[in-house]
Amino acid sequence: MTLYVGRLPERVRRRRARWAVASAVVVVCVAVVGLVHTLGSAATPGPTPTAAQGLSPELEQRFAAAQAAAELAGVPLTLTSGWRSAAEQQAIVDDAVERYGSIEEARRWVLPPESSAHVQGTAIDVGPTEGALWLGEHGFELGLCRTYANEIWHFELLAEGADACPELHADSSSGW
């Protein structure tokens, strides 16, 4: 650990100032998303949810905060996939078997509906690559963790009370 005597270097002060601003924006975004979710929950049910609408409220809030922080850092961060129905997840499994030529290889990339965090609304895939890499670096601070070493785009909620993201699984095959 480096101990500074006197004034911190300019780059450290600038970085801390950026993070202070980003943190304030995150807090505001989380509050706004929470308010919108609360107001929206009183509405009558609408059409089938989209990927973002089917997410758990906590994941939805954390991702909104991550997007705001990424934007402040000048990094694009988008939701490429979120909630999926069991039928959609099964279709992805079937496509993976066809694409990779075997169920064993497909298992490295996709889980069945009964095991998928996407079906539960507790997982998201993000893009573009720059945004996924940024979230991989900053996700813990925002309550989001990468789950699989072979999928830089897949994130799930940090467990309540956890002080670190869990160790990455090599791939999704352990979830079968």
CATH of 10-175, one of 3.30.70.580, 3.30.1380.10, 3.40.50.10860, 1.10.287.610: 3.30.1380.10
Structure tokens at 60: 């939805």
Helix (H, G, I), strand (E, B) or coil at 27: helix
Q: Where are the domains of the chain?
A: 10-175
Structural tokens at position 72: 């402040």
Per-residue pLDDT of the chain (176 residues; tens, 9 = 90+): 454 455 656 765 566 656 555 554 444 444 444 443 434 433 334 444 455 789 999 999 999 999 999 999 999 999 999 999 999 999 999 999 999 999 999 999 999 999 999 999 999 999 999 999 999 999 999 999 999 999 999 999 999 999 999 999 999 999 99
End-to-end CA distance of the chain: 42
**C-alpha–C-alpha distance, residues 62 and 83, integer Å:** 15
